[in-house]
Structure 1
Amino acid sequence: MSTPRVLPADRGVAEAAAVLRAGGLVALPTETVYGLGANALDAPAVARIFAAKARPSFDPLISHLAEAAELEKLVGTVPAAVAELAERFWPGPLTLIVDRPAVIPPIVTSGLETMAVRVPDHAATRGLIAAAGVPVAAPSANRFGQLSPTRAEHVVAGLGAAVDVVLDGGPTRCGIESTIVDARGDRPVVLRLGALPVELLQEAVGPVLVRAGSSGQPVAPGTLAAHYAPRTRLRLATDTDPADGGVSRQGFLGFRGCPAGDWAAVEVLSSKGDLTEAAARLFDALHRLDGAGVDEILVESVPEVGVGRAINDRLRRAAATWT
């Protein structure tokens, strides 16, 4: 499989911006995961995202802006709660739901009259968006339903020449996707758990509802029951039966360590029990286990607090692919 051009993120912005303006695809680093970007105002370019990822047309995309001030210019009047969250958490791993403006083609939102939008906390990518002069639609830069990419090499291995340019910004800082919130109503609703913990949202705006799942057409990306999965079978461990004697080569993904056993490969998310470190390492560790030649990956959950809720959400969705 041929490979795309890989450019250093700090020196490739001008070239990548030209690719976006010409209707091409650019894999870009963010603080969460690598995104597969196209000009959000260019419907044929956005269609290339769906084709490259083999993404179903019913799953909407997130559009990225260079600065929070661009939101009102793009969509017009912004609800007060949306504006408050944008001011508090942008740039950062928070995606907000707004009404879709006419300038955004329906393919970006999968025909929905709402749009997901955020400002990434990555200087090179914000510079890229500013240089391109357009909002950038960018889901994760991987084949649909598979592990999210947190390094440029994950993008190259997964998508190859379907991408025109990869901006290599090194490993991503957060390691899991943004939190998605619909704050247009009386009470903010979390549609996808992510790198911004629910507790921080509640400190800013008070109680929020968590409705991180979907039936029928998704109203936000990353909310299908089965998602984020490696090619290798993945199973959630239990306290009573962590290992499966019927599997000859078993890999293990642990939070702080692993139980005794004849494991073919082991990855530990954080030996010191740091959930932020665990999130940053999650997909990278799963990529390594997926390439280790094991027959099954057994994973243990992490504490269900803070960003741990989002980690467990990803693990449950990955395991659902194999049930």
Structure 2
Amino acid sequence: MTNLQTMTLAADGDGFATAAGVLAKGGLVAFPTETVYGLGADATHDTAVARVFAAKGRPSFNPLIVHVADLAAARNIAVFDDMALRLAAAFWPGPLTLVLPLRPGHGIAPLVSAGLETIALRVPAHPVAQRLLRTCDLPIAAPSANPSGQISPTTAAHVAAGLTGKVDAILDGGRCDVGLESTIVGGSPLALLRPGGLSVERIETLVGPLAPAGEGITAPGQLASHYAPKATVRLNANAAHPGEALLGFGPMPSDLNLSITGDLTEAAANLFGHLHKLDAMKRPIAVAPIPDVGLGRAINDRLRRAAAPR
């Protein structure tokens, strides 16, 4: 499992063919989505899925998101009610994950859902992810392509830094545009299980107010400590303490700034990349306040988990 010869593949015909061949044989391929890079395995292959958990050091009670090419493929795996169909029609392909009841005869490896009777499904919008899904013609289980609990990757270089020797290939599709993991909703009443790259406000415009998440792990990204750099993180800092590196927001002096103009979309796209750069400075990280609206809710969710006790 370790000390593999990790290939970096271009997003061209040969690269897609090689990546699809690796997945078909139970191997692991990191690939870009519009949110972050995912660590992909054939979701129907028990051993391949187990390799994802081993490569990341991910606890087995933490379920995975399954990526599929379109709604038709998703309906082969899960049962969709009217509300789920409305959400899929409005926001797929895109950064929305739906947690839905598994369909009888779904064929998904049990480890993917961590023993739950539900499955987290997404149709990614990134053209590289879409072409890979259609080339391999498999549902791909793919959490973020980083060691468990650490900063999520938004470039192929981030993946290589964390997983070289543990995965078979990295399909390089450039920098991820959204930069935050998908928003996850599910359950009855419909609940927000994880804020992410699709704002809660847009979802609620379509379906009404979302309920809060209940107790326990019902979807990926719900661990208290997650997305964390090696350095300690201090939130809501208006200035750095001596020895700290400051991650700013808006017009302010800082070591790196998520968005000088206070644009939350730009801040979301920069979040993980800037945390990687600040972590390399080997100094504690202070983070300026972020407005808790729109994508700011997801940014603050990631920052709280990054700052949580480990």
TM-score by length of 1: 0.90
Aligned length: 305
Counterpart Cα distance in 2 of 1:229 and 1:67 = 32
Counterpart Cα distance in 2 of 1:205 and 1:45 = 36
| Aligned counterpart, 1:56 | 59
In the TM superposition, residue 3 of structure 1 has moved relative to its aligned partner by 5.8
Counterpart Cα distance in 1 of 2:164 and 2:281 = 20
| Aligned counterpart, 1:107 | 111
Counterpart Cα distance in 1 of 2:159 and 2:240 = 31
Counterpart Cα distance in 2 of 1:13 and 1:52 = 22
In the TM superposition, residue 161 of structure 1 has moved relative to its aligned partner by 1.5
| Aligned counterpart, 2:194 | 192
Instruction: Give yes or no for the alignment of 1:243 onto 2:240.
Output: yes
In the TM superposition, residue 215 of structure 1 has moved relative to its aligned partner by 4.5
| Aligned counterpart, 1:24 | 27
CA RMSD of aligned residues (A): 1.6
Q: Secondary structure at the match of 2:41?
A: strand
Instruction: Give yes or no for the alignment of 1:258 onto 2:236.
Output: no
Counterpart contact for 1:65–1:135, Cα < 8 Å: yes
Q: State the Cα deviation string for residues 202-241 of structure 1 (Å, max 9, x = none).
A: 1112222232xx654x1001011111100111111345xx
Counterpart Cα distance in 1 of 2:241 and 2:251 = 18
Q: Secondary structure at the match of 1:69?
A: helix
In the TM superposition, residue 57 of structure 1 has moved relative to its aligned partner by 0.5
Matches within 5 A, 1:60-139: 60-75=63-78, 77-101=79-103, 102=105, 103-139=107-143
TM-score by length of 2: 0.94
> Please, which of 157, 160, 163 is the counterpart of residue 161 of structure 2?
157
Q: State the Cα deviation string for residues 99-128 of structure 1 (Å, max 9, x = none).
A: 123411210011111100000011121111
Counterpart contact for 2:251–2:262, Cα < 8 Å: no
Counterpart contact for 1:229–1:321, Cα < 8 Å: no
Matches within 5 A, 1:174-323: 174-182=178-186, 184-185=187-188, 187-211=189-213, 215-216=215-216, 218-239=217-238, 242-245=239-242, 249-259=243-253, 266-294=255-283, 296-321=284-309
Counterpart Cα distance in 1 of 2:77 and 2:303 = 35
Unaligned runs of 5+ in 2: none
Instruction: Give yes or no for the alignment of 1:173 onto 2:170.
Output: no
In the TM superposition, residue 5 of structure 1 has moved relative to its aligned partner by 0.8
One-letter amino acid of the structure 2 residue matched with residue 65 of structure 1: V
Q: State the Cα deviation string for residues 182-220 of structure 1 (Å, max 9, x = none).
A: 0x52x3211000000001001112222232xx654x100
Q: Secondary structure at the match of 1:66?
A: coil
Counterpart contact for 2:49–2:109, Cα < 8 Å: no
Q: State the Cα deviation string for residues 116-165 of structure 1 (Å, max 9, x = none).
A: 00000111211111111110000000000000000000000001121111
Q: Which moved more, 1:53-62 or 1:11-20?
A: 11-20
Counterpart Cα distance in 2 of 1:196 and 1:84 = 15
One-letter amino acid of the structure 2 residue matched with residue 222 of structure 1: G
Q: State the Cα deviation string for residues 235-284 of structure 1 (Å, max 9, x = none).
A: 11345xx4334xxx32110112435xxx7xx1101111110000000000
Counterpart Cα distance in 2 of 1:66 and 1:59 = 23
Counterpart contact for 1:62–1:221, Cα < 8 Å: yes
Percent identical residues = 51
